Amino acid sequence: MEQSQSRRLQGKIAIVTGGSRGIGAAIAKRLAVDGATVVISYSASSAAAEAVVDEIARSGGAATAIKADAAKPAEVTALVRQTVERFGRLDILVNNAGVWIGKPVGDITDEEYDHVMDVNVRAVFAAVREASRHMGEGGRIITIGSVNGERISYAGGALYAASKFAVKGFTKGWARDLAPKGITVNVVQPGPIDTDMNPADGANADYMTPLTALARYGKPAEIAAVVAFLAGPESSYVTGAAFNVDGGMEA
Number of domain units in the chain = 1
Return the SS3 of 167: helix
Which CATH number characterizes residue 209's domain?
A: 3.40.50.720
Amino acid 5: pLDDT: 52
Confidence (pTM): 0.95
Q: Are 6 and 180 spatial neighbours (Cβ–Cβ below 8 Å)? A: no
Nearest to 97 by CA among 78, 74, 79, 71: 71
3-state secondary structure of 181: helix
Question: Is 6 among the domain residues?
Answer: no
Domain of 63, in residue numbers: 13-244
Whole-angstrom distance, CA of residue 230 vs CA of residue 227: 5
Please list the ranges in the chain whose pLDDT falls under 70: 1-5
251 belongs to a structural domain? no
Q: pLDDT value at position 174?
A: 98
Answer whether residue 216 is part of any domain.
yes
Catalytic residues: 160
Alpha carbons 42 and 182: distance in angstroms, whole number: 29
In tens, the pLDDT along 80-101 reads 999 999 999 999 999 999 999 9
Question: Cα separation of 155 and 134, whole Å?
Answer: 41
pLDDT at 4: 47
Which amino acid is it at 94? V
